[in-house]
Structure 1
């Protein structure tokens, strides 16, 4: 028997091809269906960054089948947490949402070696986010 997710999280970066896709991949992998995951971009790319796909495969997570999606007002409204990664003011703000801005280097145009440390920073932040969401629902 499945229950409703504890929270819904939307990851937003400019192209929805690197950081937000890696974050969504980690959250889905580590939290399973306990947390609903979305990602989007203010100016979506044509495809997910191949270096990000490769870096995630190295840790057993395949994001190669994902497609960059455009950021919509509806996606923000449907999310409890909105985590931006360099999208600036493109993200609409609604009351009652928890907004976080994660300052992370943009992996666009970089090779796998440069993407690995970004991936690892994202994983650390995802683990902290899961702990925060779990703690909020135990209180």
Structure 2
């Protein structure tokens, strides 16, 4: 399967949800390069947007990726709980903002902030600008 032509691999990967592409990246260097390619990623997002909408929801202080299909048979399905590589998912999250595929997660106590990349699983912790973080607004 690793020897698939690029266009055939792109077609197959375009049918997968974004959350499933991480597993394909671990299969071989060729697929890793393909799934990281900006043109493929943009094409994949356009393909996904035409059939379903992926949203981020906070349920009981945890972040979930949900898929909403308004075509054919309308449905809402949970794609999975957002996890991190460094166990930062143990923090209770109250607010989530998004920009360019990154998520800014704000803890329930407003004392912790973490930027997450759901595609790579990487996280970056941020410190509040002031000792009273409720006075700051982030987005």
What band does the TM-score fall into relative to the shorter chain? under 0.3
- The structure, 1 or 2, with the larger RCO (C-alpha pairs under 8 Å, 6+ apart) is 1
Q: Given the two structures, how large is their TM-score scaled by the length of structure 1?
A: 0.25
Which is higher, the Rg of structure 1 or of structure 2?
2
Q: Given the two structures, how large is their TM-score scaled by the length of structure 2?
A: 0.25
